[in-house]
Amino acid sequence: MLKNLNIWFLSSLIVSLIVLIPILTVFSSFFDETSNYYQILKDTFLFEYISNSLILLFFVLIFTFFIGTGTAYLVSFFEFPLSNFFKWALILSFAVPPYIYAYSLTAFFENYGTAFTILKNLFGDANYNENIPKLDGMFGAILSITFSLYAYVYILARASFLYQSQNLIDLGKNLGFSKFKSFYKVILPSARPAIIAGLSLVAMETLAEFGAVDFFSINTLTTGIYNSWITFDDLAFANRISSFLLLFIFSLFIIENLSRKKAKYHFNSRGGLKQKNKTKLYGSKSFLAFIFCFFILFLSFLFPLSQMLYWTLKFPENLFDLQIIELFSNTLYLVLLSGLLLIVFSLISNYGNRVSKNKALNFLSTLSISGYAIPGVILAIAFITFIAWFDNNIIKSLGFISIKKFFIGSILGLVLVYFIRFYSLAFNGIKSGYEKINISVDESAYLLGYSKRKTFMNIHVPFLRNSLLFIIILISLEIIRELPITLILRPFNFETFATTAYISASEDLLEAAAVPSLFLILIASLFIIVSSKYILRENNE
Amino acid sequence: MKKISSLFLIATLFVSTFAVANEVNVFNARHYKADAELYSKFTSMTGIKVNLINGKSGALEKRIIEEGADSSADLYITADAGRCGAMDAKGHLQGGLTSAAIKAAVPKSFRTSKWVGIAKRARIIYYSPERVTGAELSGMSYEGLADPKWKGRLVIRKSSNIYNKSLVASLIENNGKKATAEWAKGVVANMARDSKGNDRAQIMAVAAGEADIAVANTYYLALMLSGKKGAEQQEAAKKVKAFFPNQNGRGTHMNVSCAALVKGAPNKDNAVKLVEFLLTPQSQEHFTNNTFEFPMIDGVSPSPLVVNNLGLDFQQDMKTKLASYGKNQAAALEVMTAAGWK
């Protein structure tokens, strides 16, 4: 018995330690000397970093809130043309990472861009450039992040609306509220935890966003960390900004966790269990609902997709230059390897938590899910710093050969850092699956003479199958889109769709970035379509 | 048991081949398709495999630095002398690029024993012939960009851009830090908008009428004129003209794409061979026709697009040592930042 416990404990301990490495690295250099960059920066840039991060956060939260809850409300409570299609089509925006959205915006709106071409073809030659809004800089970054991330709010809000008891809705009606008022007074407040959970995910991703923000050269805390590390060799200061950013993100993380707990409570309170009736919309109302959803689908998904498609067709030579099969197999390789590791370890940890009910173990698991809150750039930097330190100070002094090659610029290092970043996705996913299996099921199994292993294999795993599938898809999506970690840690001659797109774009070859971007969007869409029923949680309960 | 065997399976998936091979490892921050073609040509000629890790220069440099003596990098190829110089200053390069072939090909101010230029570019002024008169431009220099007559008429990239850092570093080298600090304030006061976008976007801003003059590298206009960027940009490029500053003085600011020999390079000999290959007339011609840079060596002419539209007979600044770009880099950024250059 005790021996068994130790295995769970040990594996949880290892996972937690691995995940804690970057965090400890960041905080340990908090008091290091910084170079005079700090002085220059303090005078001019630090304020800009913070205010840019806050401006970005503020507008992205407002926009994702309105778009996410607005669309969720429409498709959950009303019937209008294509409402069933929009229900899942709206999550396709997940397939377009912010940096690809940024490329599309630039391609379309820049001087002599696609918008110019369209106007010229429609109305003949003229200088349209002055009249085409330039959606770049801060505004471009806000749009890119908003349209890529609103689906977090949409999915969670919709799930919450779906399980809202009909009684609550009837209550609004009985009180004589108008539709808007009952939405505002009854529906929205009871979905609040879910919406806040969605918004805090958006907030974390926004603060951690690198690709789009870097593309529009907006200096935020995250790009500031990268720059002070890269340009000024000031790791100490990079880490100091990181600690600042991390404190910020952790508070969001806690908010998210708390509201998720509440959200769960709401999901389960399906009071009345009455089948909810969707209101059928007619006439202009139905048209407006349709237009709103279509507009959002168009802006978030169809627009970047068609811009990338247009460029691929306009500059077809780029299509033939790309090693599509190799890029695809590289991506798949990373997905499979990381997926397998993540699933195995989070299953072990979760099962360990379940059978041991050990407080310390529980605490360790909670720690180990913090990786998701840390921007990929910081994780990668901290990982390299740690390996270099460990190698120079410990491995070498013990007389062993350098381990750097095994961890920096290797698949192993890459997958390890993915593991740190996405462990919480896997862990939480399996955890919520486990919570649906009542503990009495285990007890009955033991009474029937099942061993722990048999209980796990024959009872838990089949029960968890849907959760596992969903998690694999989620991890795949994340890894397909992942940029900074892959960029910094990948081995020689190893590219993914994301890195190929980014590198072309950074060399001002946006049209060459279109092909890998297009493939990335298509593959991610495929994953989303396959898994939409899990994401939308309808058959899951 | 099953668990163990699956763990074993995972472990085997990780093991990459560490076989010793005839190869050269390039940390590459130049991502032109044309470069990749050159590398495969090199492989088929010599049998030496070129391993590439592509990335932005900053991140690649970091990896070389953190990997230290154990770095697998042989060559670091990037598009700015300032970067090679900075890596040298930090002690991460080694001497060895001193073969007769290299010395014969590359002028002295464009190389050190640790890094050499492999292709040249000039950072010049683009103007709208409709809105800028010949008299205004007459005798124009980089120093002149701070002249109040350009108020609200100038566009240039952000201060974080390496080409700008090298340009300003060369000004510091020639005029001193204090004068350059004043100059930077004048430039910021003249900007038509806050700095944003890449070099090509600056040229297009002039074409579109947002500004009258722009500072950008030479090859961008040729790239636009080539039609590789589509018909619209080709049209736009025809609306701007190139001007080579400082013709009455030290000459136009030149920069290079450079190849640097990394300290501890495991395949040093192959690295030198690759650099020599990049300096052959055949490779140089490939550069000039595809990336529209100026050749590093004599006897190869730039692309006709560059010759016909930018002119060839301009005086290059051969006096200012390119090594000073790396040396003055931090001061350059400090000066720009202090002036409020975004």
Q: Which residues lie below 8 Å from residue A85, measured CB to CB, with a gap of 6+?
A: none
Of B25, B31, B59, which is closest to A488 when you measure between CB atoms?
B59
Contacts of A506 in chain B (CB under 8 A): 31, 56
Q: At what angle do helices A376-390 and A411-435 cross, to 10 degrees?
A: 120
CATH of B122-253+322-338, one of 3.40.1450.10, 3.40.190.10, 3.30.460.80, 3.40.50.300: 3.40.190.10
Residue A342 structural domain: 1-31+314-541
Q: State the amino acid at position A146 in one-letter form.
A: T
Give the DSSP letter of residue B151: T
A442 CB near a chain B CB, below 8 Å?
no
Terminus-to-terminus CA distance in chain B, angstroms? 61
Question: Is B204 in Cβ contact with A111 (below 8 Å)?
Answer: yes
If you measure CA to CA, which chain B residue comes closest to A39? Answer: B334
Question: Is B232 in Cβ contact with A492 (below 8 Å)?
Answer: no
Number of H helices, E strands in chain A: 27, 2
Question: Is A492 in Cβ contact with B53 (below 8 Å)?
Answer: yes
CA A452 vs CA A105, A389, B71, B153: distances in Å: 55, 41, 47, 76
Determine contact, residues B285/B298, Cβ cutoff 8 Å.
Answer: no
A537 CB near a chain B CB, below 8 Å?
no
If you measure CA to CA, which chain A residue comes closest to B236? Answer: A112
Determine contact, residues B304/B236, Cβ cutoff 8 Å.
Answer: no
A417 CB near a chain B CB, below 8 Å?
no
Contacts of A217 in chain B (CB under 8 A): 158, 160, 196
Of B25, B198, B236, which is closest to A492 when you measure between CB atoms?
B25
Contacts of A315 in chain B (CB under 8 A): 228, 230
Of B53, B196, B220, which is closest to A409 when you measure between CB atoms?
B53
**Taking the model in full, what pTM does it have?**
0.85
Q: State the amino acid at position B139 in one-letter form.
A: G
A409 CB near a chain B CB, below 8 Å?
yes
With H, G, I as helix, E, B as strand and everything else as coil, classify residue B150.
Answer: helix
- Closest by CA to A474, choosing from A540, A415, A424, is A424
As for the ipTM of the complex, it is 0.81
In A70-191, DSSP assigns E strands to 78-79
Tens digit of each residue's pLDDT, chain A (541 residues)? 444 556 777 777 888 888 888 777 777 765 565 556 556 555 567 778 888 999 999 999 999 999 999 999 999 888 999 988 999 899 999 899 999 999 999 989 888 888 888 888 888 877 787 778 887 789 999 999 999 999 989 988 888 887 776 677 777 778 877 777 777 777 888 788 888 888 888 988 898 888 899 888 888 888 877 777 776 666 667 777 777 777 777 777 777 777 766 655 444 444 444 556 778 888 888 999 999 999 999 999 999 999 999 999 988 887 877 788 999 999 999 999 999 999 988 888 888 878 777 777 777 777 777 777 778 888 888 888 888 888 888 887 887 887 877 888 889 999 999 999 898 888 888 887 887 788 888 888 888 888 888 888 888 888 888 788 878 888 888 899 998 899 888 888 888 999 989 888 877 778 888 999 999 999 999 988 887 776 665 533 3
Of B59, B70, B232, which is closest to A117 when you measure between CB atoms?
B232
Contacts of B229 in chain A (CB under 8 A): 511
Contacts of B220 in chain A (CB under 8 A): 508
Q: Indicate whether A379 belongs to any domain.
A: yes
Question: Is B56 in Cβ contact with A506 (below 8 Å)?
Answer: yes
Phi-psi region of A363 (alpha: psi -120 to 50; beta: other; left: phi over 0): alpha
Mutation target vs A (from B13, B159, B341; most A CBs, 10 A cutoff): B13
CA atoms A230, A234, A237, A242: torsion sign: positive
As for how many domains chain A has, the answer is 1
Question: Is B201 in Cβ contact with A110 (below 8 Å)?
Answer: yes
Strands B115-127 and B241-243: antiparallel
CA distance A248 to chain B (A): 25
Question: What integer pLDDT is reported at residue A1 of this predicted model?
Answer: 44
CA distance A112 to chain B (A): 6
Q: Indicate whether A408 belongs to any domain.
A: yes
A341: CATH? 1.10.3720.10
Question: What integer pLDDT is reported at residue B203 of this predicted model?
Answer: 92
Question: What integer pLDDT is reported at residue A372 of this predicted model?
Answer: 75
Of A314, A387, A391, which is closest to B230 when you measure between CB atoms?
A314
With H, G, I as helix, E, B as strand and everything else as coil, classify residue B316.
Answer: strand
Q: How far apart are CA A182 and CA A162, in angstroms?
A: 16
Contacts of A384 in chain B (CB under 8 A): 62-63, 66
DSSP string, A257-325: HHHHHHHHHHHH--TT-PPPPPEEP-HHHHHHHHHHHHHHHIIIIIHHHHHHHHHHHHSTHHHHHS-HH
Question: Is B233 in Cβ contact with A229 (below 8 Å)?
Answer: no
CA distance B142 to chain A (A): 25
Question: What integer pLDDT is reported at residue A480 of this predicted model?
Answer: 92
Question: What integer pLDDT is reported at residue A194 of this predicted model?
Answer: 84
Contacts of B52 in chain A (CB under 8 A): 492-493
A126 CB near a chain B CB, below 8 Å?
no
Q: How far apart are CA A105 and CA B195, in angstroms?
A: 18
If you measure CA to CA, which chain B residue comes closest to A385? Answer: B66
Q: How far apart are CA A463 and CA A455, in angstroms?
A: 11
With H, G, I as helix, E, B as strand and everything else as coil, classify residue B23.
Answer: strand
DSSP string, A35-76: -THHHHHHHHHHHHHHHHHHHHHHHHHHHHHHHHHHHHHHHH
Contacts of A216 in chain B (CB under 8 A): 196
Domain borders along chain B are 22-120+255-301, 122-253+322-338
If you measure CA to CA, which chain B residue comes closest to A492? Answer: B53
**CATH 3.40.190.10 describes domain B22-120+255-301:** yes
Q: State the amino acid at position A84 in one-letter form.
A: N
Question: Is B334 in Cβ contact with A40 (below 8 Å)?
Answer: yes
Q: How far apart are CA A421 and CA A343, in angstroms?
A: 14
Question: Is A508 in Cβ contact with B200 (below 8 Å)?
Answer: yes
Q: Indicate whether A80 belongs to any domain.
A: no
Question: Is A495 in Cβ contact with B230 (below 8 Å)?
Answer: no
Of B63, B232, B236, which is closest to A409 when you measure between CB atoms?
B63
Of A385, A402, A508, which is closest to B70 when you measure between CB atoms?
A402
Q: Indicate whether A417 belongs to any domain.
A: yes
Of B13, B198, B207, which is closest to A111 when you measure between CB atoms?
B207
CB atoms within 10 A of CB B4: 8
Task: Give CA angle at B305 (B304, B311), nearest 5°.
Answer: 80
Q: State the amino acid at position A423 in one-letter form.
A: Y
Q: Indicate whether A77 belongs to any domain.
A: no
If you measure CA to CA, which chain A residue comes closest to B333? Answer: A40
Q: What is the dihedral of CA A332, A336, A338, A341, to 10 degrees?
A: -170
Strands B254-261 and B75-78: antiparallel
Question: What integer pLDDT is reported at residue B262 of this predicted model?
Answer: 94
Question: Is A509 in Cβ contact with B31 (below 8 Å)?
Answer: yes
CA distance B257 to chain A (A): 14
CA distance A260 to chain B (A): 33
Contacts of B204 in chain A (CB under 8 A): 110-112
Question: What integer pLDDT is reported at residue A465 of this predicted model?
Answer: 82
Question: Is B236 in Cβ contact with A111 (below 8 Å)?
Answer: yes
Q: How far apart are CA B327 and CA B140, in angstroms?
A: 26
Question: Is B6 in Cβ contact with A341 (below 8 Å)?
Answer: no
Q: Indicate whether A231 belongs to any domain.
A: no
Identify any residues that bridge with B215 across adjacent strands, giving them in sequence order: B125
Contacts of B330 in chain A (CB under 8 A): 232
Contacts of A321 in chain B (CB under 8 A): 33
Contacts of A229 in chain B (CB under 8 A): 62
CA B107 vs CA A408, B166, B300, B326: distances in Å: 37, 19, 14, 18
What are all long-range contacts of B201-205, with beta carbons under 8 Å and residues at least 24 apart?
A: B201/A110, B201/A111, B202/B126, B202/B155, B202/B156, B202/B157, B203/B126, B203/B236, B203/B237, B203/B240, B204/A110, B204/A111, B204/A112, B204/B233, B204/B236, B205/A111, B205/B155
Question: What integer pLDDT is reported at residue A23 of this predicted model?
Answer: 76
Tens digit of each residue's pLDDT, chain B (342 residues)? 455 555 555 555 554 444 457 899 999 988 777 888 899 999 999 999 999 888 888 888 888 887 877 788 999 999 888 889 889 988 899 999 999 999 999 988 889 999 999 999 899 999 999 999 888 888 899 999 999 999 999 999 988 888 999 999 999 999 999 999 999 999 999 999 888 888 888 999 999 889 999 999 988 888 888 887 788 888 888 899 999 999 988 999 999 999 999 998 999 999 999 999 999 999 999 988 888 888 898 888 888 777 777 766 788 888 888 888 988 988 898 899 889 888
CA distance A70 to chain B (A): 34
Question: What integer pLDDT is reported at residue A266 of this predicted model?
Answer: 45
Of B55, B196, B233, which is closest to A487 when you measure between CB atoms?
B55
CA B109 vs CA B167, B245, B315, B319: distances in Å: 16, 20, 15, 7
Question: Is B67 in Cβ contact with A409 (below 8 Å)?
Answer: yes
